[in-house]
Structure 1
Amino acid sequence: DKKFGVNQPKRLENANILVANTAMDTDKVKIFGARVKVDSTGKLAELEKAEREKMKQKVERIKAHGINCFVNRQLIYNWPEQLFSDAGICSIEHADFDGVERLALVTGAEITSTFDHPELVKLGHCDLIEEVIIGEDTLIRFSGVAAGKACTVVLRGATEQLLDEAERSLHDALAVLSQTVKFPKTTLGGGCAEMVMAKAVDQAAQNVAGKKAIAVDSFAKALRQLPTILADNAGLDSAELVSRLKNAVYSGMTNSGLDLLKPGGGITDMRELGVVEAYKLKHAVVSSASEAAELLLRVDNIIRAAPRRRERM
C-alpha cells in the first residue's frame, strides 16, 4: 500500500527517478564521545534547527540530481517531504527491499545512499507514474519503463488459500512459458500427444510376445489415462470423450484432441485450435513416470527389518 507524499500530484509523466536507501526521518547532529546537555528551551530549539538545516542540505543535494521523483527504501518524515513538495518532486517512502531492487532493475537506475556526486549516480526513467486503486489497496504503477518488457501481475482472492493456489498456478505457467521460450519445440495438447504415443505403443506391442506384451499394453493404457484425467477435471464424460478421441487418432487423424470449451466436450484439431504444450515439459513428465514405474517393477522382494530394541545398560 504505497502513496505519493502529501500535497504531491498523483500522476507524473516523463519521470526521472532517483532510487535511494537513506535515512530521511531525521539527521542528528553527531558528536562522538560526548553528550549534549541544554539548560533552556531556546538552546533545544537551536539544536533542532541545526538538525533541520542538515536535513535541508541533504534534500538540496538530492535536488541537484535533476529528478522529479524520489523513491526511498526508508521512511521520509514530514519536513523533507514538504521540501520535496515545494521543489515539485514526488516522493515515495518505505519501499520494501525487494521492490526497490526490482524497480531499480526495470527503470535502469542504481540504488544510492550518498548524494555528493550527482554525475556518478545513474537515474531511472519511465514514461508515467500514477496512483491506482485496486479494491481497497492503493498502488503506484510505473509504466513505460526503460527495461521495456517488465510487468507486474496482481493476484487477488477471498482467502489466503485461494491466493496461494493462484500463485502456484501462475508460477507453474510462467515456468512452462519460460522453458518454451528457451526451447521452442512444442507438441499438441488436449490429450493429442498422449493418444498418439499410446497408438505407437499399441502398434509396437503386436511384435512383443509373452509377459512383456502385458507390460507394453499397460504402458499404453497409462498414456490414455492423461486425456481421461483432463476430461474428468473439466466435469465431462471421460469415457465417451476418450473413446471418441482414441477412434479419431487410431483412424489417422493424429492432430485430434479434446476440446473442453465446447458444450459437452468434443474432438477438434488441436493445431487449428492452437492448443500446444512445451515439448521439454512433456518429455520430462513421460520420462520421469516411466523411470518411476520401471523402478517399482524391478522390486522383486521386500525385506522386513525387526523393530529396534533398546538394551538396558
Structure 2
Amino acid sequence: MDKLIHTGDKATVTNDGATIIQLLDIVHPAAKALADVAEAQDNEVGDGTTSVMILSGEFLKEAKSFIEDGMHSRTIIKGFREATRIAVQKIRDVEYKVTNHQSPEFRELLVKCAKTSLNSKLVASYKEFFAEIVVDAVMKLDADLEKNMIGIKHVQGGSVLNSFLVDGVAFKKTFSYAGFEQQPKKFENPKIVILNLELELKSEKENAEIRIENPEDYQSIVDAEWDIIYGKLENIAKTGAKVVLSKLPIGDLATQYFADRNMFCAGRVAQEDILRVAKATGGQVLTTVSEIAETSLGTVGYFEELQIGAERYNIFKDCPNSKTATIVLRGGAEQYIEEAERSLNDAIMVVRRAIKHASVVAGGGAIEMELSRIIREYSRTISGKHQLVVNSYARALEIIPKTLAENAGFDAVEILNKLRQKHAAASNEGRWFGVDVNKGSIFDTFEQNIWEPSLVKVNAISAACEAACLVLSVDETVKAAKSEQEVTQAEMALRGRGRGRRFRK
C-alpha cells in the first residue's frame, strides 16, 4: 500500500521502500542499518526495496523469540546464513534463462519483467503501456546500459496515457533573451554545436583598473570586447551549424546574431541534457570556438521546438548515434507524476538487470513459497538448535505472499494454506504457484507472466539476511560522549568520587 510522507511543505505519496526510508529521519542505529540495506538494494538492482525491508524485519522477529529463550545470537546467525546459502543455490537451480538476446522471446521476457515491477505501483493500471515504453527506452542504450542516458521529464496536464517516448533527447525550453522569437524552431538534418562556453559581453570586475592617456583610447577598449564576442560568433556561424547549445548563458547579442542568420540557440542547458545530446548526435562538448573541426559537430535527423502542455520543449529525434531516449511523463498532479517516475525507475533498473543477467523466476510470492518448502525439508535433516533456526527462516520467507494477500484485501491464512498444499505436492507441478491478487486465490504465476529477474530475489534475500545478522551480532550499545562539556562533567564526577563524595542521578 502507498504511504503519504509529509516533510515541510512537500507531501510525497509512494510505496517504494527506498524512497520512504530516505524521507524518514531515522535516529535508531539498528533501524539505520536496515535503511542502508534498502538503499543498497535500490542502487544495486532498483527493485525489491520493500521486499528487503519486510524480510529483514521478519528475520529479526523470528530471532527475537530465540534470544528471549536464551539462545546465543551466534547460533541464530549461523543458521540464517546456512539457510540463505541454500535459498540462493535453489534460485540458481530453478531460474529460467534466455540465451538469444536478439529473439522476440527475449523482448517478451523484458516486457513481462517490467510489468511485474509495475504491478505493485500507483501506475499498475497502465502497466502494459509503460512496460513497452520502458523496454523501448532501455533497448536504445549502448552495451554499458548507462541509466543516465534515459531522461525522464515531467509535464503537468493531460492524462497519464499522453506520456510518450522520444527516440533521442527532449528538454524544457531554457531561459531566452530578446531575438529568440525570430529564430526558426524547426530543422531537418541540422548540424549542432555543443558548447561549454559563455556567449555574452563580460562586464568588468569591480576592482578592475584601466589607465588611458587619451579619451579616444576608451572606445578602443570597448571595441576590443565587442570584437572578441563577434569573433566567437563568426567562428560558430562558419561551421554551417543550425543549432547552438551551451551549458553556460547565451546573451541577447548572440541570440540576435543567430536569429539574423536563421540559427537556433539555447543557453543554460542542464549538464545531463548536454551530455545526452552529445551522445545522441555524435558531437563533442567544446570549450573553445577557434578552429572548430567538422568531426566535433553533431547531427540529428529532425529538430523541433514543441508545445507540450503548458511548456515548450526542444526535441531532437532520429539521431544517427541514438544511444539515448527521453520519457515525457504527463499527469494531473505533480505527486502522481513523481510517483510514476519512481515506478518507471524501478522498471528501468529491472529491465537493465534482466538484459545483463537474462534469467528470471516467478513472482507473486511463488519463489518464496518454494524456497520456504525446500528449507523446511532441509531443516528436518539436521538436529539441535540449528533445526529450529532454519525452520524459523523458512517461516519468515512466507511473509512476502502473506503481505501480498493482505494488501489485496484477502484472507492471508487461507491463501497461505492453499499455497503450502500446492507446493508440497509430490508432482512438483505447483512449484510456480503464487498469490492471485485479482481473484483472491492462487495460480501459476509463471504461466501468467509474472516474472522477476532472479538477481532481484538473490540480492533481496542475501541483503535481508546480512542486515538481520548485523543487528543480531550486537550484544551491547555504548554511547560515546557528544561534547567536551559532557566529558568535563564526567571527569568532575570521577574526581568527586576520589574525594569520597557520593554522586546520585
How far does the alpha carbon of each residue in 1:30-60 deviate from its partner, in whole angstroms, 9 at most, with x for none?
Answer: xx973469869xx988876665454333222
Verify the 8 A CA contact 1:131 1:140 in the aligned structure 2: yes
Sort the Cα spacing of 1:134 and 1:249 in 2 relative to 1 into closer, same or farther, 3 A.
farther
How far does the alpha carbon of each residue in 1:233-281 deviate from its partner, in whole angstroms, 9 at most, with x for none?
Answer: 3444333333333332223311222233x2x334232222222212222
Residue 18 of structure 1: aligned partner:
193
- SS of structure 2 residue aligned to 1:152: strand
Q: Does 1:288 align with 2:463?
A: yes
Residue 397 of structure 2: aligned partner:
223
State the AA in 2 paired with 1:103.
V
Verify the 8 A CA contact 2:279 2:324 in the aligned structure 1: no
Sort the Cα spacing of 1:293 and 1:46 in 2 relative to 1 into closer, same or farther, 3 A.
closer
Q: Does 1:278 align with 2:453?
A: yes
Sort the Cα spacing of 1:237 and 1:140 in 2 relative to 1 into closer, same or farther, 3 A.
farther
Residue 104 of structure 2: aligned partner:
none
Residue 34 of structure 1: aligned partner:
210
* Structure 1 gap ranges (5+): none
Residue 69 of structure 1: aligned partner:
243
Residue 310 of structure 1: aligned partner:
490
Sort the Cα spacing of 1:46 and 1:140 in 2 relative to 1 into closer, same or farther, 3 A.
same
- SS of structure 1 residue aligned to 2:431: coil
Higher relative contact order (CA 8 A, sep 6+): 2
How far does the alpha carbon of each residue in 1:128-175 deviate from its partner, in whole angstroms, 9 at most, with x for none?
Answer: 222234443322122222332311234567777666655554444433
Residue 289 of structure 2: aligned partner:
115
Verify the 8 A CA contact 1:14 1:127 in the aligned structure 2: yes
Verify the 8 A CA contact 2:276 2:324 in the aligned structure 1: no
Q: TM-score, normalised by structure 2?
A: 0.52
Sort the Cα spacing of 1:278 and 1:304 in 2 relative to 1 into closer, same or farther, 3 A.
closer
Q: Does 1:6 align with 2:181?
A: yes
How many residue pairs end up in the alignment?
306
**Per-residue deviation, 1:190:** 1.1
- SS of structure 1 residue aligned to 2:283: coil
Sort the Cα spacing of 1:50 and 1:311 in 2 relative to 1 into closer, same or farther, 3 A.
closer
**Per-residue deviation, 1:69:** 0.8
How far does the alpha carbon of each residue in 1:60-112 deviate from its partner, in whole angstroms, 9 at most, with x for none?
Answer: 21111121111122222233222212222111122123322232122211111
* Structure 2 gap ranges (5+): 1-171, 482-488, 496-505
Counterpart Cα distance in 2 of 1:6 and 1:13: 19
Counterpart Cα distance in 2 of 1:36 and 1:171: 61
Verify the 8 A CA contact 1:112 1:121 in the aligned structure 2: no
Q: Does 1:240 align with 2:414?
A: yes
**Per-residue deviation, 1:122:** 1.0
Q: 1:180 aligns with which of 326, 350, 354?
A: 354
Residue 191 of structure 1: aligned partner:
365
Counterpart Cα distance in 2 of 1:73 and 1:291: 44
Counterpart Cα distance in 1 of 2:173 and 2:368: 48
Residue 249 of structure 1: aligned partner:
423
Superposition RMSD in Å: 3.6
Q: If you compute each CA radius of gyration, which structure gives the higher value, 1 or 2? A: 1
Residue 145 of structure 1: aligned partner:
319
Counterpart Cα distance in 1 of 2:470 and 2:269: 51
Counterpart Cα distance in 1 of 2:472 and 2:225: 77
- SS of structure 2 residue aligned to 1:139: strand
Counterpart Cα distance in 1 of 2:302 and 2:396: 53
State the AA in 2 paired with 1:10.
K
Verify the 8 A CA contact 1:132 1:140 in the aligned structure 2: yes
**Per-residue deviation, 1:293:** 4.4
Verify the 8 A CA contact 1:6 1:81 in the aligned structure 2: no
- SS of structure 1 residue aligned to 2:464: helix
Counterpart Cα distance in 2 of 1:190 and 1:95: 43
**Per-residue deviation, 1:123:** 1.0
Counterpart Cα distance in 1 of 2:480 and 2:293: 73
Sort the Cα spacing of 1:11 and 1:268 in 2 relative to 1 into closer, same or farther, 3 A.
farther
Residue 381 of structure 2: aligned partner:
207
- SS of structure 1 residue aligned to 2:284: coil
- SS of structure 1 residue aligned to 2:187: strand
- SS of structure 1 residue aligned to 2:490: coil
Sort the Cα spacing of 1:152 and 1:212 in 2 relative to 1 into closer, same or farther, 3 A.
same
Sort the Cα spacing of 1:82 and 1:291 in 2 relative to 1 into closer, same or farther, 3 A.
closer
How far does the alpha carbon of each residue in 1:157-212 deviate from its partner, in whole angstroms, 9 at most, with x for none?
Answer: 77776666555544444333322222222211111111111111222233334443
State the AA in 1 paired with 2:423.
V
Counterpart Cα distance in 2 of 1:63 and 1:99: 23
Sort the Cα spacing of 1:303 and 1:85 in 2 relative to 1 into closer, same or farther, 3 A.
closer
Residue 154 of structure 2: aligned partner:
none
Counterpart Cα distance in 2 of 1:36 and 1:118: 36
More helix by share: 2
Identity level (%): 29
Residue 258 of structure 1: aligned partner:
435
- SS of structure 2 residue aligned to 1:12: strand
State the AA in 1 paired with 2:173.
K
State the AA in 2 paired with 1:115.
V
Q: TM-score, normalised by structure 1?
A: 0.80
Q: Does 1:89 align with 2:266?
A: no
Sort the Cα spacing of 1:37 and 1:73 in 2 relative to 1 into closer, same or farther, 3 A.
farther
